[in-house]
């Protein structure tokens, strides 16, 4: 995802106003009807639009969905906002599929790195909360010794492209 337009300081931060109340919780729209990977719509709507701090259960992505059986082991996979369908992440970038999956399994959620983030639509609040510019709660930035690590709820990025 990194390109000539990638900001020099990451993550790109935003203010609390992005998560202000809107027509449907923190978003203007509810989650899409037909989420990818067999993600549960009610869970997605609660996590994406009516939540600021909590997450889907650790391991949900690998234990309760078809995510691992669906994504390519040889090509990158695009991850779209479950509300708006905007492209938020592409992975793996700059690492192998095996490394991406191992890290995601180790932490319990799909775990993205700076190069895998579409900074046009993804922001982080000062407290580490990771959100879309449209108000979708995505997860949290939990940096480790190698850099920023965005632990993202699969239900938040299981949308279909628009």
With respect to residue 99, please indicate whether it lies within any of the assigned structural domains: yes
The model's pTM is 0.95
The per-residue pLDDT for 3 is 47
Say if 89 falls within a structural domain. yes
Confidence at residue 1, expressed as pLDDT on a 0 to 100 scale: 53
pLDDT of 7 reads: 84
Give how many domains the chain has, as a whole number: 1
Structural domain includes residue 22? no
Q: What is the extent of the structural domain holding 148?
A: 32-156
DSSP string, the chain: ---TT--SSSSPB--GGGGS-BTBBTBSS---SS-GGG--HHHHHHHHHS-SS--SPTTHHHHSSSHHHHS-SSS-EEEE-TTT--EEEEE-SSS-HHHHHHHHHHHTS-EE-GGGB-TTTEEE-TTSEEEETTS-EEEEE--BTTB--EEE-GGGSBBPP-
Residue 53 confidence (pLDDT) = 82
Q: What is the pLDDT of residue 5?
A: 66
Asked if 50 and 23 count as a contact pair (C-beta separation under 8 A), the reply is no
**Mean pLDDT for back-to-back runs of 10 residues, the chain (162 residues):** 69 98 98 98 98 90 96 98 99 98 96 98 97 98 97 98 94
């Amino acid at each position: 995802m990194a390109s000539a337009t990638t900001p020099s300081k990451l993550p790109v931060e935003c203010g609390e106003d992005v998560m202000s109340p809107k027509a449907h919780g923190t978003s203007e729209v509810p989650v899409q009807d037909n989420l990818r990977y067999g993600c549960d719509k009610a869970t997605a709507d609660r996590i994406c639009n009516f939540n600021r701090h909590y997450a889907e259960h650790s391991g949900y992505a690998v234990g309760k969905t078809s995510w691992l059986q669906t994504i390519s082991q040889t090509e990158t996979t695009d991850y779209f906002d479950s509300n708006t369908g905007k492209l938020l992440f592409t992975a793996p970038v700059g690492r192998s599929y095996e490394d991406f999956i191992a890290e995601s399994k180790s932490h319990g959620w799909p775990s993205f790195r700076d190069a895998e983030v579409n900074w046009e639509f993804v922001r982080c609040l000062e407290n580490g909360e990771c959100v879309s510019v449209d108000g979708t709660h995505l997860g949290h930035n939990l940096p480790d010794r190698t850099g920023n690590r965005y632990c993202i709820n699969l239900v938040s990025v299981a949308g279909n492209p628009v």
